[in-house]
Structure 1
Amino acid sequence: MSAEKHDPLEGFDTTIHAPNRLRICALLDAAGEAEFGLVQKQLELSASALSKHVTVLMDAGYVGQRKAVRDTRQRVWLHLTRPGRDAYRGHLAALRAIVGPSDPAL
């Protein structure tokens, strides 16, 4: 076993770091799964902007989708994949390492 120290910034992920992609990951991490239209409404993004960000996250293997018919309409449900959840949580740990511990006195 190596005694190398783990670099907390190792988890910093530029794919997730873009503000809207970070918000998408945060929402999906909390919700587990969410319908595309709900994500769009919650984050106040246009369908095209959300679609572009989701495509980047899907291409990275971070977000998956499930299509289902609901109310006679095709719906797309989004979720973080296991690698996506791991990357998101690693990114949060890296951000916390960057900003340091919070001081409750501030």
Structure 2
Amino acid sequence: MPTQHQRSGSSASEIAAWSPIAKLFIEALLAKNAFDHKGAFARLRYECAAERGRAHGYARALLTILRVRDIHVPEEAEARIRECTDLEQLDTWVYRAATAKSLDKVFGR
């Protein structure tokens, strides 16, 4: 029989990735029964999934720009781009990719 985490779809790695402040906030709210935790967790999971989706979109756009501009992207660099979840960083890379002559310039080296 699946555990509560398995039924809700929250993996240990997702929970571990939450910031310490987010964990404390959620624990405090749960301790006070201040809200419907199932609804709040659903909203939180939706927001996390939406942010991952935006990051995925930025990564795809960045890789497309680099390929169209014939800038070689080694596997390690592609993995770095695909694994990045920092939207500001991805936005910076996309902006730089529009004019950069090399991958080093995209990464700010």
TM-score for the superposition, normalised by structure 1: 0.26
- Which protein is richer in strand relative to its size? 1
TM-score for the superposition, normalised by structure 2: 0.25
Larger radius of gyration: 2
- Which protein is richer in helix relative to its size? 2
